[in-house]
A and B are shown apart, each in its own frame.
Chain A
Amino acid sequence: MKHVFVLLVRLVLGSSFILSGITKILDLVPFIQTVARFNVLPAWAVIPFSVFLPPLELVFGISLLFGYLTRFSSLMIACLIMLMAVAIVPQLLGGSEIGDCGCFGGLMDSRVDINLLLRDMLLFALAFTIFCQKQYIYTFDSYLDKTI
């Protein structure tokens, strides 16, 4: 039962990160503007960060969904979620009005508020749950172990 739960979590987290990565790639310019509005990075780092983040989200989402390097992918996804949470906290404390968080590009608007932080914390807990498992079912890793 636990394995099935982890599998479901993997599918949900992986597909949401794939969606997030693709929508950010398709709407890259608004995402760069959103990162700049957050005002947590130095000006020179805004564009490199905004360009590097979506492909990483896409790749780790795919690898988590298909179960390739599952533990490593879940750790990386947990790190990415923590990074986003760290960016959100100063905005909440400072009470700045950022508006859309840019999490899913132009697909849906989600405001930077306490609910977003709670959602990130939930996703972090899910990613960490995957990371803490010793065995996974229906993964590409286990297929490779069997064939090689």
Chain B
Amino acid sequence: MKKPTNLTILLYLILAAFAFEVFVLARQNMLLKRQLYSGLAQQKGNDKEIKEGMILPSLSLKNFENKEFTFSYNRPGE
């Protein structure tokens, strides 16, 4: 097997560092989403699992069709 050059090894190291960065970003993103969804679930006052794409369901386009616009916001605890 051909011995890798110093430059190749350095490039591998840089790639590994980038992979670490992407992993950290993805993890932070996942934690943020989880926080957001759990906060929304709490706000709705039920234990239903809120799936991705269902943020503020009352504001989705489907709800506007042939319906009057109603939007209410209750602060948690009210």
Contact = CB atoms under 8 A, between A and B. Distances in A.
> Size range of the interface on B?
10 to 19
> Size range of the interface on A?
10 to 19
Interface stretch (B20-28, B36-44, B67-75): B20-28
Interface stretch (A41-49, A58-66, A80-88, A112-120): A58-66
B10 A59 contact: yes
Given A59-B13, A59-B14, A51 B6 contact: no
A79 interface: no
A31 to B, nearest CB: 11
B24 A69 contact: no
A115 B45 CA distance: 53
Describe A's contact surface by its main secondary structure: helix
B64 interface: no
Interface of B: 6, 9-10, 13-14, 16-18, 20-21, 24-25
30 contacts: A21-B17, A25-B21, A25-B24, A26-B24, A28-B21, A28-B24, A28-B25, A51-B21, A54-B17, A54-B21, A55-B14, A55-B17, A55-B18, A55-B20, A55-B21, A56-B14, A56-B17, A58-B17, A58-B20, A59-B10, A59-B13, A59-B14, A59-B16, A59-B17, A62-B13, A63-B10, A63-B13, A68-B9, A69-B6, A69-B10
Interface of A: 21, 25-26, 28, 51, 54-56, 58-59, 62-63, 68-69
